[in-house]
Amino acid sequence: MKRISALILTLSMLLTLTACGKTVVPEEDPRVQEILSEAEVRRQAILYSETAIVKDDTYVMGETYTGTAYYVSNSGDDRNDGKTPETAWATLGQVNQADLQYGDAVFFERGGIWRSTTVETRPGVTYSAYGEGAKPRICASPENGGGLDCWSLWWEGGKGEKIWLYHRDMPDCGAIVLNEEEVTQKILGFWDGHQYLNYIGPNNQNDDDFNTEQQMSQPVFDVKEQLSADLTFFSQADSKLPDALPIFLTGWNVDESCYAQTSVGPLYFRCDEGNPGEIFQNIEFQTHTPLFDGIAEDCTLDNLFVGFAGDGCINATEGENVVIQNCEVGWVGGIVGSYNTGDTITGYGPGIQRLAGGLGARANGAKIINNYVHNMYHAGGGIEIFQEQNDKLQCSTDISFIGNLFYHCASGVTFFNWDKEANPEHQFKNCTYEDNYVMFTGTESWMDSGYAPAFVHEGGPNMQEGCSVRNNVFFVARTALVYVEQYDQTYFPKFSGNTYVQYKDYPFILCESREESEIFSAEVALLFLKDDEGTVLSLSKLPEGL
């Protein structure tokens, strides 16, 4: 991955002094370089943070454990007792079946990697790292695809085009990550119940954008024709797909006959330079395994890498008082959640719904602190409450996102309630976004091509009490920097002291309930947000590297 500090060499600034906020120095403003340097320092600090969790008589989440420490290593053995680094366990399966008690801790060896297994967290248990080196990795990707034997030449065209076939059938793959530097572009086919057709999308945002008759009349998907550009791929995971539309694989309106079944099939990758396994040492696949899904109450996740996943990989949605800190969460999203017709609601657009999301919270008391979240097909993280997915109404209370770095996510952080009308029994209370850096939102071509704001206030009026968005840096978005679907001053969170950096020809705010929905003026933007202490930097040209 390119270093943040190297993405921008020079920036020319526009000077605007506002009544309720401020911008700073006009030409090549040093504050911009300071922001980039600060973000890079934070990234490095998170990547190389040391484990500080120790045993104590008192359980303080994120700081101590009180029970037994267990150790897990790639060189361990599940027949061991796991109670010392020398007698470590080997697998996540052993961790999941162990009789872990409240106050215990599980430490994974740094430099190790565990794949394709959901971690079944237990109440009051800490999951962290031990040893030296890189954070231990919990990955959905089933294997590293680097190596000559992993790929065979499937087709070669007359102009040097080369399409390679992976050595085994693979589950649906949302993206392929090359050396953790580049993400390949997924070419979608539309499953009609019998075969893949050419897809007329993917920019279907509502029913009017999708023509079922036109889609179903498309020709059969031709891999050689559709992989028309270098470093594109097609995931033909069709082994268990039903034969009737709509098909829901996971997420909204789950089809129980298909849910939790993993369709697999050939994986085709166009790489004109040669065998991808020889060119790229590390090739990871974003596939579906819910890595930390529905974390148990009073759990701590600390100093872990969690990623290479086709769907959301850390969800604090059930257990209360969860702490997620010092983690790297990266390379997430893009698998298919449904194939559907134009009259089917999926939460995104009709046609094909692709899943995404990295780090989400809904349960009370969740604290997401000092994490590096990057390369998300959709949202980097946020707080969302879903009335239709709960047996009873509930409020999300005392949830905080503090000190995180969100980098290259298709949208940044979300504040989202699906209610169409304000409901005091279903609201946000005392939720906080503070001191987060949200950088370069939606600026990579493989990401969700819809709205790409750094901060998302989506859904209905989002009834709230005591919620704040303060002292964050929102730095450049492909669309509006802040998106507000429905503005209601009574229920709008308190914005204060944030820094907003955006290219001058792009809006600072998009508010769909406002007559003039796009706000380009710094003064109007700060007045709209009522951020009396906010700072706006308006760039006269896009930063290099986007």
Of these ranges, 225-234, 352-361, 408-417, 443-452, the one predicted with the greatest mean pLDDT is: 225-234
pLDDT in tens, 92-118: 999 999 999 999 999 999 999 999 999
CA-closest candidate to residue 512, choices 536, 478, 488, 496: 488
At 9, the pLDDT band (50, 70, 90 cuts) reads: very low
Secondary structure (3-state) at 213: helix
At 545, the pLDDT band (50, 70, 90 cuts) reads: very low
User: Rounded to whole angstroms, how far apart are CA atoms 92 and 117?
Assistant: 7
Check: CB of residue 376 under 8 Å from CB of residue 414: no
Average pLDDT, integer, range 166-184: 96
User: Rounded to whole angstroms, how far apart are CA atoms 154 and 79?
Assistant: 43
Amino acid (one-letter) located at 57: D
User: Rounded to whole angstroms, how far apart are CA atoms 163 and 471?
Assistant: 48
Of these ranges, 27-41, 198-212, 365-379, 453-467, the one predicted with the greatest mean pLDDT is: 365-379
At 341, the pLDDT band (50, 70, 90 cuts) reads: confident
11 or 541: which carries more pLDDT confidence?
Answer: 541
Average pLDDT, integer, range 126-155: 97
pLDDT for 159 beyond 80: yes
Which pLDDT value is given to residue 58? Answer: 98
Which pLDDT value is given to residue 318? Answer: 82
**Low-confidence winner among 123-132, 248-257, 345-354 (lowest mean pLDDT):** 248-257
Check: CB of residue 364 under 8 Å from CB of residue 356: no
pLDDT in tens, 390-403: 455 578 899 999 99
**Low-confidence winner among 161-165, 462-466, 529-533 (lowest mean pLDDT):** 462-466
pLDDT in tens, 420-470: 788 888 889 999 999 999 999 998 888 888 889 999 998 777 788 999 999
Average pLDDT, integer, range 65-85: 98
Average pLDDT, integer, range 32-57: 95
Average pLDDT, integer, range 222-244: 95
Task: List beta partners, residue 501.
Answer: 475, 537
Which pLDDT value is given to residue 320? Answer: 94
The pTM assigned to this predicted structure is: 0.92
pLDDT for 14 beyond 50: no
Check: CB of residue 359 under 8 Å from CB of residue 368: yes
Which pLDDT value is given to residue 311? Answer: 86
Task: Give the tokens for residue 237.
Answer: 């995971």
pLDDT in tens, 255-305: 454 444 679 999 999 999 999 999 999 999 999 998 998 899 999 999 999
User: Rounded to whole angstroms, how far apart are CA atoms 27 and 540?
Assistant: 10
348 or 268: which carries more pLDDT confidence?
Answer: 268
Element (H, E) at 97: helix 92-97
pLDDT in tens, 184-230: 999 999 999 999 999 987 665 565 678 888 999 999 999 999 999 99
**Low-confidence winner among 99-108, 494-503, 512-521 (lowest mean pLDDT):** 512-521
121 or 23: which carries more pLDDT confidence?
Answer: 121
Task: List beta partners, residue 432.
Answer: 400, 468
Which domains does the chain possess? Answer: 41-140+286-539 (2.160.20), 148-280 (no CATH)
9 or 38: which carries more pLDDT confidence?
Answer: 38
542 or 504: which carries more pLDDT confidence?
Answer: 504
User: Rounded to whole angstroms, how far apart are CA atoms 86 and 501?
Assistant: 50
Summarize the chain as % helix, strand, coil (round to 5). Answer: 10, 35, 55
Give the percent of the chain with pLDDT over 90: 66
- Average model confidence (pLDDT) across the chain: 87
User: Rounded to whole angstroms, how far apart are CA atoms 268 and 284?
Assistant: 14
At 541, the pLDDT band (50, 70, 90 cuts) reads: low
